[in-house]
């Protein structure tokens, strides 16, 4: 793993989902990252898949950093066994801190919040605000409908193929780690436009 990746920010559900394979995947990812000496950054709760990721990473001896807004400390039951828990003012600050603390992003199955976090991180990559790898961890085809939509966005001219191709899709911890090792940043949207104009 490159020395530039010391922590991975994980987006995933505060609910467990309807299949046991979702929790199994969360545990596998948390354990694998910790085993590689990579810290986990996540939303700070001790519920659902987010809690499973954090607990698995902590149990495997990894560093786990939680970031949670004040309003959710009680609702998402802040995890008490973390390396560090930051309580922030609101959701915007939470996402910013999670982005700052992590050197890569991985989205496991989740709901609206997971989608929103993933899309913001992917948008920031498109705009060149960061140059960090982003992965979808696909469990039982969970992300396939979204990937189909992304392909449609490319075919309709709203997303560049390079950005879509740069999105990691993994179905196992080893595949995820290998992809993070070999990832290369796509050209930001507006730099690509400038290069085309200069040609």
Domains of the chain, earliest start first? 7-198 (3.40.50.450)
* Greater model confidence, 25 or 72: 25
What integer is the mean pLDDT of 182-199? 64
Q: Name every residue whose Cβ is closer than 8 Å to that of residue 134 and which is 6 or more positions away in sequence.
A: 104, 105, 106, 107, 118, 121, 122, 125, 166, 167, 168
C-alpha closest to that of 13 among 54, 65, 50: 50
pLDDT at 2: 45
Say if residue 192's pLDDT is above 70: no
Q: What is the pLDDT of residues 90-145, one digit of tens each?
A: 999 999 999 999 999 999 999 999 999 999 999 999 999 999 999 999 999 999 99
Residue 140, token pair as written in the block: 């039982």
Q: What is the pLDDT of residues 44-91, one digit of tens each?
A: 999 999 999 999 999 999 999 999 999 998 887 889 889 999 999 999
pLDDT at 80: 86
pLDDT at 76: 75
Which DSSP helix (H) or strand (E) runs through 65?
strand 64-69
Q: Rounding to the nearest 10 degrees, give the CA dihedral for residues 88, 94, 99, 102.
A: 60
pLDDT at 121: 97
Residue 24, token pair as written in the block: 């199994």
Q: What is the pLDDT of residues 8-24, one digit of tens each?
A: 999 999 999 999 999 99
pLDDT at 118: 98
């Amino acid at each position: 793993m490159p020395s530039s990746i010391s922590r991975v920010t994980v987006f995933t559900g505060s609910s467990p989902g309807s299949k046991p394979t979702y929790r199994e995947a969360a545990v596998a990812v948390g354990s694998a990252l910790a085993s590689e000496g990579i810290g986990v950054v996540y939303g700070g709760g001790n519920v659902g898949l987010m809690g499973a990721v954090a607990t698995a990473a902590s149990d495997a001896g990894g560093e786990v950093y939680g970031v949670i807004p004040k309003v959710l400390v009680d609702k998402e039951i802040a995890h008490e066994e973390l390396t560090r828990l930051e309580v922030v003012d609101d959701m915007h600050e939470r996402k910013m801190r999670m982005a700052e603390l992590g050197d890569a992003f991985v989205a496991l199955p989740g709901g609206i919040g997971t989608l929103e976090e993933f899309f913001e991180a992917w948008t920031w990559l498109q705009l060149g605000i960061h140059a960090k790898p982003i992965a979808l961890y696909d469990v039982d085809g969970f992300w396939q409908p979204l990937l189909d939509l992304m392909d449609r966005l490319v075919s309709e001219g709203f997303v560049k193929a390079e950005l879509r191709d740069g999105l990691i899709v993994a179905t196992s911890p080893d595949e995820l780690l290998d992809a993070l090792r070999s990832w290369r940043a796509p050209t930001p949207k507006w730099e690509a436009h400038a290069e085309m104009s200069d040609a």
